[in-house]
């Protein structure tokens, strides 16, 4: 389905769904609220915060790249049927953001990262006047996002506002401990080897929060393509610094970094694929990396093991 047709389909659904004003929910009986989240990270925070008061569904599952994601007809139906929708914002979801802006005429639609303090956001290297959307890699910043989600759920469902606030606070306390753990683990890597090289530039918040240099073959968005010059420059950097390992991502094809590893080998040096990191998507449901804290822990353990 083309993007233009997706917009038209959504508008038709909006017309059929009536004229309920934004800020109210479609829930008129005792059934649970139906909440849609675009990414697994947002869905995980929502599940912690809403408890048994709502059912949360993530549109984008494990291994899905949100930069390239295209909404299906089924997605559009789920979005229009939901009582509320939460998405990352800061252009993470690409053109799908326009669909979500249209949907906001009908119901609560929350761009979580758009509400974070601008002073804590990193400027985009790909697009002028835009910010890096990968805010969840700084656990302390994602804790602020959890607070935003809790407050928004209180506005969406006022009778349970105190519950959402309490659950959000409890979740933030867990994230505070996780933030300290990540910082301590990264310090185990010798400073000369504290360099994180990945397929695309998704880890700037991680690098800034935990004092580790980061490099990506592609830009902030995987929409941007890399060329021979990008590969050559990264090979020069790795050989010059003697970097032990580079990391592939679960939502980005591995072949991009394989070219870098091969280029380093041709220079007479050795670097290895240090493992797979979860970048724009979490792990499979039911696994340790299928939750936000578990994903963060899995990433950190992979990084430390390969670089220390």
The one-digit pLDDT tens for each residue of the chain (308 residues) are 444 454 554 555 444 333 333 343 444 445 899 999 999 999 999 999 999 999 999 999 887 888 888 888 899 999 999 999 999 999 999 888 888 988 999 999 999 999 999 999 999 766 667 899 999 999 999 999 999 999 999 999 999 999 999 999 999 999 999 999 999 999 999 999 999 999 878 899 999 999 999 998 875 444 445 567 788 889 999 999 999 999 998 867 777 788 899 999 999 999 999 999 998 899 999 998 999 999 999 999 999 999 99
Alpha-carbon distances of 14 from 2, 11, 54, 56, 292, rounded to whole Å? 18, 5, 23, 21, 33
Whether this prediction's pTM lies above 0.75 is answered by yes
Q: Measure the CA–CA gap between 289 and 308, rounded to whole angstroms.
A: 22
């Amino acid at each position: 389905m083309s993007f233009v047709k997706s917009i038209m389909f959504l508008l038709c659904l909006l017309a059929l769904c009536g004229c309920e004003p934004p800020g109210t929910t479609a829930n008129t009986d005792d059934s649970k609220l139906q909440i849609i989240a675009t990414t697994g990270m947002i869905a995980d925070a929502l599940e912690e915060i809403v408890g048994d008061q709502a059912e949360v569904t993530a549109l984008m599952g494990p291994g899905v790249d949100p930069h390239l994601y295209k909404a299906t007809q089924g997605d559009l139906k789920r979005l229009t049927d939901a009582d509320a929708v939460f998405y990352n914002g800061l252009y993470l979801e690409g053109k799908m953001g326009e669909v979500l802006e249209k949907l906001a005429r009908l119901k609560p639609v929350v761009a979580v990262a758009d509400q974070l303090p601008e002073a804590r956001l990193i400027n985009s290297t790909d697009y002028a006047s835009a910010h890096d959307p990968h805010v969840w890699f700084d656990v302390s910043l994602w804790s602020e996002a959890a607070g935003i989600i809790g407050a928004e759920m209180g506005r969406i469902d006022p009778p349970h506002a105190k519950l959402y606030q309490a659950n959000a606070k409890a979740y933030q306390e867990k994230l505070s401990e996780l933030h300290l753990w990540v910082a301590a683990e990264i310090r185990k890597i010798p400073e000369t080897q504290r360099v994180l090289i990945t397929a695309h530039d998704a880890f700037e918040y991680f690098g800034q929060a935990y004092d580790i240099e980061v490099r990506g073959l592609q830009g902030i968005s995987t929409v941007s393509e890399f060329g021979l010059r990008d590969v050559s420059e990264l090979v020069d950097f790795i050989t010059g610094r003697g970097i032990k390992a580079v990391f592939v991502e679960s939502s980005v094809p591995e072949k991009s970094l394989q070219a870098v590893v091969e280029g380093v080998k041709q220079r007479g040096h050795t670097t290895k694929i240090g493992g797979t990191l979860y970048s724009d998507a979490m792990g499979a449901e039911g696994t340790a990396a299928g939750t936000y804290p578990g994903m963060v822990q899995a990433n950190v353990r992979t990084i430390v093991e390969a670089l220390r």
